[in-house]
Structure 1
């Protein structure tokens, strides 16, 4: 794992690349591990996703190369043994930093039915490859909007491209920014949980607000969260509030 970093960008260009050459032994290993994971969690679905082939930063923006992959290759990174040379496991995802009126941000706690139960992360998800349409930054922006609406229960107010995350486990994150009202978000999430409890990605939506008397988040967290908090707040000490219940939650 390498150091996580957020590089602010004004633009993003996407370019298709050739996928790694298929290795029969690798294919067998991926299939066997996927079968094992599905036995543990039958709700998993091997859908398409976008993998990163390379990235190059330029002044105020970056070029990002991608190829088509799938969720089985994404989960393959978690198989026993070294994951350093697993080319299919480095995905491109979108995420949204939703700033609140209290000076904090919204995050979600992943549901038990997901591949990472209990993990704390931003609203978002792995990017999906296009069908026939052009794959551009606007495609990722629309995907970020859709993921936020599905997970939080409401479309985000106007979002803008903010940064690209690199490092950590190797995934490339295209991160957007918006502002939200916690009252609206709490009501929206309560509705979506009532309607889609068994299919919701998030078990809870939390507000993290910087606080000298707060604590560092000790639950399982996505690789970028500590650095994100330092970048936004200059500290990892936060007060945590669960929006749905509108009570303080210890994390």
Structure 2
């Protein structure tokens, strides 16, 4: 299968219809890199105490098995491993796996959200979503159905929009310059006013419980040119994804 040309952002949008995920051995971290990793992680937590070193799935590798069919090797780790990205020359770090949801409106726009100050990327605009978590270890597989359930949960937790996982369709897989893989799912269209109402209700509920919402603002965008009006940094996949979706809506 022909490899797509990267967007100027360095992100590729892969046409994927089937995904096979295979668990691999966790990354080996040398004693020296572990000391550096722990030091960097402690520094991050000192700045933002809300950081939690929970379980996460990392990408060991990905390759085409057939046209539109991707095999992905993944391993169990914790968020602490990502601190090695901040260390020049570190070799034990691995790319991330994440899910995202394209939530369209009836008029052809997409919902994007701004990460709140308590998150790992405060102020950054992105699709609702998050890093993939590994199965709890009771025999439940990490497969496309599990990714779909995770995407539906992230959408509900970040925007208040409850969507059955089976209503989410794999739209594409993004591959960043650092080989991070993102599984993007398309949700059913909803009226714009409903998206704003659900988000406002979620923010009100989280605030009443003394918690910061993961997104502190949402916006609806219909073209890449509108992203500049958001007034903040963008996750690297956002511009090419919005562009491709807008082209599909307008039949380009």
Match of 2:192 among 174, 182, 186: 182
DSSP 3-state at the match of 2:71:
strand
Q: Show structure 2 runs of 5+ residues with no match.
A: 1-7, 248-252
Aligned to 1:145: 152
Query: Residue 69 of structure 1 contacts residue 88 of structure 1 at CA under 8 Å; is this kept in 2?
Result: no
Q: TM-score, normalised by structure 1?
A: 0.85
User: Would you say the 8 A contact 1:168–1:224 is kept in 2?
Assistant: no
**Offset at residue 122 of structure 1 (A):** 0.4
- 1:229 aligns with 242
Distance 2:125 2:30 in 1: 34
- Counterpart mapping for 1:43-54 below 5 A: 43-54=50-61
Give the alignment partner of residue 104 of structure 2, picking from 96, 99, 106: 99
* 8 Å contact kept, 1:103–1:210: no
Q: Kindly state the Cα deviation for residue 101 of structure 1 after the two structures are TM-superposed.
A: 1.3
Provide the aligned C-alpha RMSD in A: 2.1
Q: TM-score, normalised by structure 2?
A: 0.85
**How far apart are residue 215 of structure 1 and its match?**
6.0
Q: Does residue 162 of the first structure (1) align with residue 162 of the second (2)?
A: no
Residues 188-225 of structure 1: per-residue CA shift (max 9 Å, x gap): 1111101113331100111112287x463551111111
Aligned residue pair count: 231
* Cα distance change of structure 1 residues 184 and 86 upon mapping to structure 2, 3 Å threshold: farther
- Compare the two structures and name the one with the higher strand fraction: 1
Structure 2 CA distance for partners of 1:89 and 1:60, relative to 1, 3 Å = closer
